[in-house]
Amino acid sequence: MRKVYRYLEQINSPEDLKKLKENEVRLLAHDIRKFLVQSVSKTGGHLASNLGVVELTLALHTIYDTLKDKIIWDVGHQAYVHKILTGRREQFKTLRQYKGLSGFPKRHESSHDHFDTGHSSTSISAALGLASARDLKKEKHEVVAVIGDGALTGGMAFEALNHGGQSKKNITVVLNDNEMSISQNVGGLSNYLSKIRTAPIYAKVKDDLELLLGNIPAIGKSVKKTAEKAKDSIKYFFVPGILFEELGFTYIGPIDGHDYNALCTAIKNSKNIKGPKLIHVITKKGKGYKLAEKSPAEFHGVSPFKIETGKPISLTKNLSFSEVAGNTLIEAAKTNPRIVTITAAMPSGTGLADFAEQFPERFFDVGIAEQHAVTFAAGMAAEGYKPFFAVYSTFLQRAFDQVIHDVCIQNLPVTFLIDRAGLVGNDGETHHGVFDISFLSCIPNLTILAAKDGNELQAMIQFAEKHEGPVAIRYPRGTTALDKEKSILPIQLGKGEVICDWGKDALILTVGNMNEIGVALCQQLNNKGIGATVINPRFIKPIDQHLILQHAKSHKRIYVLEDNAKIGGFGEQIRSFLNEYEVYKPVKLFALPDAFIEQGNVALLYKDCKLNQEEIFTEIYQDFTKGIIGKLAITR
Ligand SMILES: Cc1ncc(C[n+]2csc(CCOP(=O)(O)OP(=O)(O)O)c2C)c(N)n1
Ligand SMILES: CC(=O)[C@@H](O)[C@H](O)COP(=O)(O)O
Ligand SMILES: [Mg+2]
C-alpha cells in the first residue's frame, strides 16, 4: 500500500527525526503540514499557529532531547507538531474530544510535556522556575520557553523578562514572531519587533562590530574600553534586539523560521552562550495552506472545515451571543458617545470586530493584557466614559484584583461582558468559564447578571448602559435565538422573572442559559403530575429577594441550576439567603463539581456532571416520588 505520509510515517519519536537527511527533513515538514490540514479539518483545532511552527519544532527536536530538556510552549495551542513528533500522531483523530488528545501540552499525557499551558504569557516565568529548581538540584538540562509575539504582549511575559535578565539563569526564550496574535498583533513591542524584522542588515552590523573589536590584537586597556563604549552607543542605533540585550538577554536573530538549517545553527550556538538568551524567529502563520496564509485569523481556531474552500462543515444561521453583544453595542454607541469598547486581543472572539470598524476611535485592543484592560477601563470610566470590556470568563480570572481595586472600590461604571461563561467544550479545563460567579459575587458594588438568550443579553447591555456602577453580564459560548420581533421590557435592578408557574411542588431557579433546561423540566414534571415554577433570577447579585422568598415559601422543594462551580455559586447564595430568612425547605443545587472539568463536547460534559435535563429530572422526580414509593412498599 502506498504510504500517505512517506516521511512522517517513519517518525515515532524524536530520535527518528535525527536519522533523517537534510532534504528528507524538508519532505517531512511537507508531510506534517499535509497531515495537520487533513487532521484538523476533521476534528477542528488550532491550525494556523501550528502550520507556522513546523520547521521551528523540527529544529528544536533536532537539537534538544525533550525527555531531558524542557520546552514550555506558551499558550500551548501551537504544540501539535511537538505532539506529532513525540509519538502522539495516531491520537490526532481524537484531538480535543472527550477523553482524547488535548489541544494543549499536558504533563499527564507525555513525558515530553513539561508544563501545562492554555492561558497566555506564562512560559518565561515557568521556564525560570524550572531553571532555578534545576540549578538548586545541580541537574544539567536546557530549559526553553517558546513564546509568540502575541503572548509577549502579556504582562507576565514582561515581568518574567525583567526577572530573567537579572537572574542570569541559563534559559532560552524562542520568540516566534509571526506578526499575529489571534488577529493582527498590537502595541509598541509589536512595532519594535517589526522594525527588527524589516532591517535585517542590522544583524550584520552587530556581527561586524564584534568581529572588529575582537580582532584588534594588542589593544590597550583604555582604547579597548573606549571602543567598547563606542560599540555600546552604536549598538543603540544598529543592533537588533537591543531592548532584550538591555534587559540581560543575549539576543540572537532575526532568524528565518522556515529555514531548518539556520534554525538548527542558531539553537545549537545558543547552547554555548551562558545565561538568558532570546532567539528571535520570524515565521508565517498558516504557512503551507494558502487559505490560512491569506486569512490567519480565520484559521487560528477552527471547527471542522472543507479543505478546498476553508468553509466550516456545519453552518448556523443563528448569531452567537458574542455577535449579539457586539451588535447591541454598535446600536447603543450610535446614540451614546460615551460608550467605548475594550478587548484583550480577542476582537473577533468577543464579537467586537464590527464595532472596531465602525468606531475605530472608540475601540481599544490592548493586547493579551486582561489586568491592564480592566484598569484602563477604570481610567476611562473615571473620566465619564462608559467602557464595556468584553472578555472570556476564564481570562478575566487574571484580573481579579483590578476588578476589586480599580473598578469596584471606586464604584466606576465599567461593564464586564463575560463571554464563554460555563463549559466551553474542546479547550478543556484551562478554558471553561466556571468560576466567575464564585469570584465576582463576593465583590461589593458589583451588579452581576446572567443572560438566558440573545434578547435578554440585549436588554441587559441596555440596562448596563444606564446603570451607575460596575456591572458584569455573563453568557455562554455558542449561538442563541434572537427574536427581532420580541422586545422585552427594560430590565430593572435586582428584578427576576417568573417563566412558568405550573404548580407549587418544585421551585426551579435557573442561571442564564440553564433556563432552557428549566422550562423543559417544568413541562416534563407536569406530565408526571408534579407542579413546578421556573424563575429566571436575571440578577446573580443583588438577588430578587422578594420574588425568591415569596416563591420559596409557597413551594415544597427548591432547585437551583447553574453552569458555575457549586462552591461559591448562585445556589449556595440562595441557600444561605433562605436560611437567613428562616425558610427551611430542601434546596438542591445542580452545579459544577469541585473538580477541573476535562475537554469534550459540551452536552457530554454536562451529562458527565449530571447537569443535563435527564439527570436533573430523575433526581427531582425521585425527590417527589420516593416518599410515595416508600409508602406503597410499606402498605404492600
Ligand atoms: C490570558 C489569555 N488571554 C487570551 C488568550 C487567547 N489567545 C490564545 S492564543 C492567542 C494569540 C497568541 O498569539 P501568539 O502568541 O503570537 O501565537 P500565534 O498564534 O501567533 O502563534 C490569544 C489571544 C489566552 N490563551 N490567554
Ligand atoms: C488558545 C486560545 O485560548 C484561544 O484560541 C481559544 O481556543 C479560543 O476559543 P474560542 O474558540 O471559544 O474563541
Ligand atoms: Mg503570533
SS (H, E, C) 505-533: CEEEEECHHHHHHHHHHHHHHHHCCCCEE
- Rounded to a whole number of angstroms, the distance between the first and last alpha carbons of the chain is 70
99/175 same-domain check: yes
pLDDT, tens digit, 9 for 90 and up, residues 407-464: 999 999 999 999 999 999 999 999 999 999 999 999 999 999 999 999 999 999 999 9
465/326 same-domain check: yes
Is residue 24 among the annotated active site residues?
no
142/220 same-domain check: no
Ligand 2 close to Cβ of residue 148 (< 6 A): no
447/381 same-domain check: yes
339/439 same-domain check: yes
pLDDT, tens digit, 9 for 90 and up, residues 362-411: 999 999 999 999 999 999 999 999 999 999 999 999 999 999 999 999 99
Ligand 1 close to Cβ of residue 178 (< 6 A): yes
Please answer whether residues 536 and 510 qualify as being in contact, where contact means their C-beta atoms are separated by less than 8 angstroms.
yes
546/444 same-domain check: no
Does residue 472 fall inside a structural domain? yes
Instruction: Retrieve residue 216's grid coordinates.
Output: 584588534
What pLDDT score was predicted for residue 481?
A: 81
442/507 same-domain check: no
The mean per-residue pLDDT over the stretch 165-172 comes to: 96
**Domain end residue (candidates: 480, 508, 525):** 480
**Cell 478587548 -> residue:** 343
CA gap 375, 402 in Å, rounded = 6
Of the two residues 218 and 259, the one the predictor is more confident about is 259
Number of domains in the chain: 4
533/445 same-domain check: no
Write the ipTM. Answer: 0.99
517/629 same-domain check: yes
Instruction: Retrieve residue 265's grid coordinates.
Output: 545553527
Does residue 486 fall inside a structural domain? no
Ligand 2 close to Cβ of residue 509 (< 6 A): no
pLDDT, tens digit, 9 for 90 and up, residues 112-147: 999 999 999 999 999 999 999 999 999 999 999 999
Ligand 1 close to Cβ of residue 372 (< 6 A): no
Q: Please choose, from the candidates 336, 333, 384, the residue with its C-alpha nearest in 3D space to the C-alpha of residue 363.
A: 333
Distances (CA, A) of 543 to 272, 501, 562: 62, 19, 14
**Cell 514572531 -> residue:** 177
Query: 3-class DSSP state for residue 57?
Result: helix
Structural domain range at position 600: 498-635
Instruction: Retrieve residue 321's grid coordinates.
Output: 451571543
300 C-alpha to ligand 1 centroid (Å): 9
Does residue 490 fall inside a structural domain? no
- Contacts (Cβ under 8 Å, ≥6 apart) of 287: 33, 51, 52, 54, 258, 293
Does residue 307 fall inside a structural domain? no
The one catalytic residue in 83, 398, 452, 566 is: 398
- Rounded to an integer, what is the distance from CA 229 to the centroid of its chain? 45
- Contacts (Cβ under 8 Å, ≥6 apart) of 331: none
Is residue 285 among the annotated active site residues?
yes
**Cell 545565561 -> residue:** 275
pLDDT, tens digit, 9 for 90 and up, residues 503-531: 999 999 999 999 999 999 999 999 999 99
Distances (CA, A) of 346 to 354, 389, 505, 541, 615: 12, 11, 45, 27, 35
The one catalytic residue in 88, 235, 285, 287 is: 285
Ligand 1 atom nearest residue 346's Cα = 23
Query: 3-class DSSP state for residue 14?
Result: helix
Instruction: Retrieve residue 175's grid coordinates.
Output: 520568540
| pLDDT tops 70 at residue 236 | no
193/98 same-domain check: yes
279/401 same-domain check: no
Is 344 labeled as ligand-binding? Answer: no
What pLDDT score was predicted for residue 229?
A: 58
Does residue 342 fall inside a structural domain? yes
The mean per-residue pLDDT over the stretch 473-491 comes to: 88
Is residue 370 among the annotated active site residues?
yes
CA gap 306, 42 in Å, rounded = 8
> Which amino acid is present at 556?
K
C-alpha neighbours within 13 Å on the C-beta side of residue 504: 6
**Residue 199 pLDDT level (bands cut at 50, 70, 90):** confident
> Which amino acid is present at 364?
F
**Residue 208 pLDDT level (bands cut at 50, 70, 90):** low
The 10 Å Cβ neighbour count of residue 237 is 9
Query: 3-class DSSP state for residue 280?
Result: strand
Is 150 labeled as ligand-binding? Answer: yes
Domain of residue 562, CATH code: 3.40.50.920
What pTM was estimated for this model as a whole? 0.94
Is 178 labeled as ligand-binding? Answer: yes
CA gap 367, 480 in Å, rounded = 28
Does residue 306 fall inside a structural domain? no
385/504 same-domain check: no
